[in-house]
Each structure stands twice: as structure tokens, then as C-alpha cells.
Amino acid sequence: MTSYKTTILLLIVYALGLAAATFIEKYWGTTVAKLIIYYSPVFFFLQILLIINFIASSIHHRLFQKKKWGFMTVHTALIVILAGALTTHIWSKEGTVHLREGESVGDMLIQTGKGEFRHALPFRLELKKFTVTRYPGSSSPSGFESVVIVHADNQSFEKTIAMNKVLDFKGYRFFQASYDKDEKGSILSVNRDVAGRNISYTGYTLLIAGFILCFFGKNSRFRQLSRALKGGMIALLCLLSFPLQAQNHSFSEKIKTMFQENKINAEHAALFGTLPMQSMDGRLEPVNTFASEALRKLHHSDKIGGLNPEQFLLSLLTLPEWWMHVPFIHLPNKDIAQRYNLTEKQCAYNELFDKNGNYKLENALNEIFYKPPSQRSRFEKDLVKLDEQVNIFYQLINREMPAIFPAENAENHRWETSNELLDEYTANLLLGLQSGNWNTANQTLEAIRAYQKEKSTLAIDSQKIKAELLYNRLNIFAQAKKIYLIAGGLLLVLAFILLFRRSATGLKWLIRLLASIIFVNVLYHLSGIGLRWYIGGYAPWSNSYETMIYVSFITVVAGLFFIRRSILTFALASLFGGIILFVAGLNWMDPQISPLVPVLKSPWLMIHVAVIVAAYGFFGISFLLGITNLLLLFAGKGNKRTPLHLRIRELSIVNEMSLWLGLALMTTGTFLGAVWANESWGRYWGWDPKETWALVTVVVYAIVTHLRLVKKWDNPLLFNLMSVFAFACVLMTYFGVNYFLSGMHSYN
């Protein structure tokens, strides 16, 4: 039990057990996964063995005498956190309270594997009022809250319980969980865990203190690595390529001619794009944003037949019958075209209906919707996507979108899609197409704008509308992607040349120039994140697209952290940042700015996601450095005293430093997520697949960073190989859980 080899083997078993449990949970449910693994005696015993192993190895290797304070504090913190989790598991009470307006309750319902029972509370709760707040013009909840009266000790007082606003009284914490369909009743989750919470939070505090000591302590591993890296630049020519699938936008000559004949004036279309409208989720946005999203979802492109998004939307509103025959709706699966006799790659709306007007996909869709999403095949999922595209097109040609007219006396400030002004506007657009004179259409457009200002009960923030138009026009992330890819690629080439000409002053100036360009691009990238934050009103890392944008930014910033030690690391980070932005720009990523669901309106979320995604950036750099080092190792077999092997050693040091930074951020971010969960809905950990795989990622990278403690495993080949393989856990946590598993974090 004093062996480091035992530590690594125990961690491997622990990671495999956690990973297996997520698949057991998918096929047999959470209860079975908890019974077999999470709460099994064997799993508890495994965690006890890890604690014993740490204590025994610390004593055996005299870590106290060596003053490894950071190492000791971090591992002590993990023991305290496990003790807190055990305390919570054994002594905490967790349940629900169901309240109806005007009624009071003095107990809570607790459900266990043995059944359910009532637990008396030392006070009574009375629901005075329950309120659901929705986003303007939308049925989506913005928030919900319960105003309750607490009756205790012959006294009463009033409190409000809302999402991320907890009632804490006599050791019991009440969280807003759900509500009745008639919105007259509230369901609160209840948690009593004073001892467990205090122990766990102490552990979290120790963890952060320990990591600070790990990076700044005199005898820490990170400081040793920093001293061992004496500078110098390493280089390798990496040819990274990825397929750019060209869209097939070929149309017949007749349709091309029609496109040009029915082309709305570009200046008028641009004015139309500045018009405010209400999105389906209630957000006020410029028509330009909606038009771009509609065209992208239907056609998987930003242009069609020489028309920009606003021209496309105006043409569709003006000539809906013609567009029904244009084969432009993107098909996500070629088998769909064959089965339903559709034009390959892109089909027309009318092709989806038979001679009798029956919808060809209807029967198949009815069968698909009876299946849970996790049981649907790829073909079935693609069929559902096509159906969504058909619904969008149907709503457009029937003028159910976009909503540009504030409705009078409408519930929840809802805007409408139809109005006499729209009929007048489309008629004037037709006149403009025939005569080439757009003055009348311009006047009608200004009349619509005046109508919005007069009738809207919502404040139209013109500054945010202008900011969003600027955001759309600049297309910051697409431009930043190009600079990262080009400058990062050139930087790699120059670094490769510098490997053989280390005294070349001219090359060094070129490298500095490229590094400066990338640095300016980082600031440009940051401005895009800031602009999106201002427009949306929340930190932009709440969904897959936004986190990819943030991961790209953090990856390049992480490269800047190592720029003085290794120019290659910075070049790889820049190139990788460009690749991540490339992936974010693919059609299956949704860049739409949407209001947050209530549970995500927490400052803890912003911190938790920011820290975890920052860890992904450092792990991405280690992944690229690992690949680079493996190539160098295979290219430089033989004498280990060559300059190439010295470069491999330097690069391995940078790799390990990046891993330590990533591991510290990932561990801290994971436990910050536990704090968010506990403060938002009353539990630290629910063994949700996303949570579990985050823990698997922490354990796997802990294994990689601890390999050096076993002499037989302390070699560059194994270390760099493992730093590459470990990145698979990051991909599984970020992408795999969403596609292969299911859980609370599916919205990410």
C-alpha cells in the first residue's frame, strides 16, 4: 500500500468503474448503476484503499520532510471532500415538499430504494403565491418563484424561494424545483446536510489552496519543471489538413435566371435586415439575424443563388409559390433521397408531398416520435431534422414567421407575423421587382418601423440591435479562424526552418511579426466574445457553440502562456484554436443567441464552465504536443544526446506543465460545479453522465501526471502517448455524453 504503482492501478480501476457505470445507467437506469457501482460496498472499499494508499505512500516517501506542501494539501483536500460526501450519504435527508396556494405543510416526502415515507419538519410552510415569469412573447419560462410563509416557534415570516434563491432555515434548505400544470402549486426540493456541507466546503477551500501551493511553492513539481526549462525554441513541420466539404449549390440555368430576375435590391434588403423582430423564444433581434439562421437551417449555407439572407427572406415572402418548386432544402442523409424519391443532396418543398398532397414523411415520423431519442437510429434522427426544416419553410410561406408587428393587447408582450402593412409591403416589393423602383417599398418599410415604435409595449434597445448587426456583419469568429490557421501554419514552418538555422535573425523577426498578428487576433476574438455577451446579456458559454468559441480562445491564450519557453507550443495552440473555430462554424453547430433557462441563471455556472473549459484548452495543447513529440521520437531513434532529443525533452516538460495546469483547472471546475448544484438545487453530485465523465477525465489525467512516480513507466514515449490518449476523455465529456448518453446536461 506504499507503492505508487498501486496508486495508478487503483485509479485505473476507479476510472473504468465510473465509465462503465454511465453505460449501465443508459441501458438499465440510474438506480441499477448506483446499486452495482456508485453505492456498492466494493466501490466504497476502492475509495478507502485510495485514501490508505495516499497516507501510507506519503509516510513511506517522507513527503512531509520534503516539504511537498502543495501535493499534501491537494490530496488531503480530496480526502476531506470524500469524507464530506460520506457524511452526506449517511446522515443527510433529501426530499420534496408539494405546496398549493393557501395550503400549509409540515413534513416532506422522502423517497428511497425501500419506498417512500414522510419526515416531520420542525416548522410549517404555507404557499402564499406562486408565479411563473416568461420571456416576452414566448412560452419559455424566464423564472419561477414561490412566496411562502414560514410558521415556527409561534412566529411567522415571509420568504421568497426561486431558482438560485434558497430558503435556509433550521438546517433545512428549500429549492424551487418544479410546479403544477395549473401554476397554482409549487414543488420544492428539500435538503438537510449541515455537517456534510461544512466538511465538503472545507475540502473545496483546501483544494484551491493546495493548487496555489502546487504552482507557487518552492519545492512543487511545477516550479521544478519551470526551472528545468531553460528556454530555447523547438520546431516541427506539421501538415494538418481537414476536408472542406463543398456544398453542391448547382441549379438549372432556368432557376439561376429566375434568381437574378427576382433579386431584391441589396440596399433595400439591408434596410429590411435592420428591422427589429421578436424571435420564437421572445428575444428582440434584427431581421438580419433571423434571415441568416433561417437560410442556414434550410440550405446549410449563408447564400443561395447570389442572394444574401435578407434577399432570400424577402423573395420567399414575396414569391412563396415559386420557392416551393426550388430544390434548395438540404438533405442530411442521401438514403432519405433514395427512399422518398427526392432530388439528391437538396430537394424542393413540393417533392415531399405525393400526388394526393400527402406528406411522404408522416408515417415514418409517427413511428419515430414514439421512440425515446436515445433509441433512434442515425437515419431516423436525420429524418426528424428534415421534418424540422420542412416546418420552418411551411411557417415562412404561410407568414407564421417572422414576428415583426407588436400585437395590441397581446398576452406577454407577444408580437405577430401578419398585418395589413405586410400585405402592402409585399405588394410594393413586387412592384419594385417589375419596375426597379424601390422608393415605395422603402416608404412602407419605414411605416412598419414607425408602427413598431408606436405599438410596442417592450422597450426596443436600438443599441443592442446595432451591436447585433455589427456582430453579424463582422463575422468575427470566421475571420479569427482564418488568421489562426494561416498565421499559426506559417509560424510552424518558420519554427521548423529555425531548427536548422538557430542564429537566423531575419527568421526571428518574422516569427515575432506572426506572433504579434496572432496576439492582435486574440484580442479581436475576445471582442467577439464580449460583443456576444453584451447582446445576449449572459456569459457566452452556455451551449456547445459558445463553449467551442471559448475553448478556442482559451487554447490560444494557453499557448501565449508558453510563448517564451516554446514557440512551437504557441504555433500549435494557434493552429488548434483555428481548427476549433472551424468545427464551431460547421452546420451542425447552432450559433443562435437564445435566452437562458432559469437553472442556468447562476453566477456559479459562469465560473464553473469558464474554469472547466479553460482546462480543455490546456489539455488540447498537451494533445498536440504529445503527437508532435511522438513523431519526433520516431524520427530521432538512436543517439539520445542529439539536439533533437534535447528538444523532445524540452517539449515534454512543456507538455507536463500544460497537463498540470489543465488538471488543476479541471479538478477545481468540477468541484465548483458541485457547489453550483448544491446552491441551485440542493445536491452536490447526482452521478449524471456529464458529471461522471468530468470525474473520469480528472482521474485519467491524474494517472498521466503520476506515471513518472514509477521508474519503469517514467519515459517520454509512454508519457506523450498517454497525453494523447487521455484527450479522448475530454472529447467524450464534451461531445460523447451528448450523443451516446443522456442526462441533465444534454442542453450543453
pLDDT tens, residue by residue, 160-202: 998 778 888 998 999 888 888 888 999 998 989 889 889 988 9
3-state secondary structure 177-223: EEECCCCCEEEEEEEECHHHHHHHHHHHHHHHHHHHHHHHCCCCHHH
pLDDT (tens digit per residue) in 659-710: 999 999 999 988 888 887 777 766 777 788 888 999 999 999 999 999 999 9
pLDDT at 675 (0 to 100): 83
- Across 7-16, 71-80, 129-138, 253-262, the highest mean pLDDT is recorded for 7-16
pLDDT at 243 (0 to 100): 36
Neighbouring CB atoms inside 10 A of 668's CB total 21
pLDDT (tens digit per residue) in 344-366: 889 999 999 988 889 999 889 88
pLDDT at 133 (0 to 100): 80
Asked if pLDDT for residue 448 goes beyond 90, the answer is: yes
Contacts of 420 (CB under 8 A, 6+ apart): none
pTM of the shown model: 0.69
pLDDT (tens digit per residue) in 457-481: 888 889 999 999 999 999 999 999 9
Return the minimum-mean-pLDDT range out of 161-175, 284-298, 627-641: 627-641
For the chain, give the mean pLDDT.
Answer: 84
Classify strands 329-330 and 346-347 as parallel, antiparallel or unpaired.
antiparallel
Cα torsion at 191, 192, 194, 197 (round to 10°)? -30
| Domain ranges for the chain | 4-60, 95-192, 261-458
CB 604 within 8 A of CB 679: yes
CA 28/CA 12 separation, integer angstroms: 24
pLDDT at 136 (0 to 100): 60
* Selected residue with higher pLDDT from 500 and 451: 451
Q: What is the mean pLDDT of residues 557-564?
A: 86
Asked if pLDDT for residue 115 goes beyond 90, the answer is: no
Asked if pLDDT for residue 549 goes beyond 70, the answer is: yes
pLDDT (tens digit per residue) in 206-224: 998 998 888 887 778 887 8
Asked if pLDDT for residue 600 goes beyond 70, the answer is: no
pLDDT at 216 (0 to 100): 82
Half-sphere exposure of 594 (CA within 13 A, CB side): 20
pLDDT (tens digit per residue) in 293-325: 999 889 988 888 888 999 999 999 998 998 999
CA 204/CA 74 separation, integer angstroms: 10
Q: Which of 597, 489, 581 is nearest to 164 (CA)?
A: 597
pLDDT at 737 (0 to 100): 83
pLDDT (tens digit per residue) in 363-389: 898 888 767 665 678 888 889 889 889
Tell me which H or E stretch contains 484.
helix 476-498
pLDDT (tens digit per residue) in 59-104: 888 877 777 888 889 889 999 988 988 898 888 888 899 999 999 9
Classify strands 284-286 and 276-278 as parallel, antiparallel or unpaired.
antiparallel
3-state secondary structure 47-113: HHHHHHHHHHHHHHCCCCCCCCHHHHHHHHHHHHHHHHHHHHHHHCEEEEEEEEECCEEEEEEEEEC
Residue 237: pLDDT band with limits 50, 70, 90: very low
Q: Which of 672, 583, 659, 675 is nearest to 624 (CA)?
A: 659
Largest CA distance in the chain: 91
Q: How far is CA 356 from CA 324, 360, 383, in A?
A: 16, 10, 21
CB 583 within 8 A of CB 548: yes
Classify 125 as helix, strand or coil.
strand
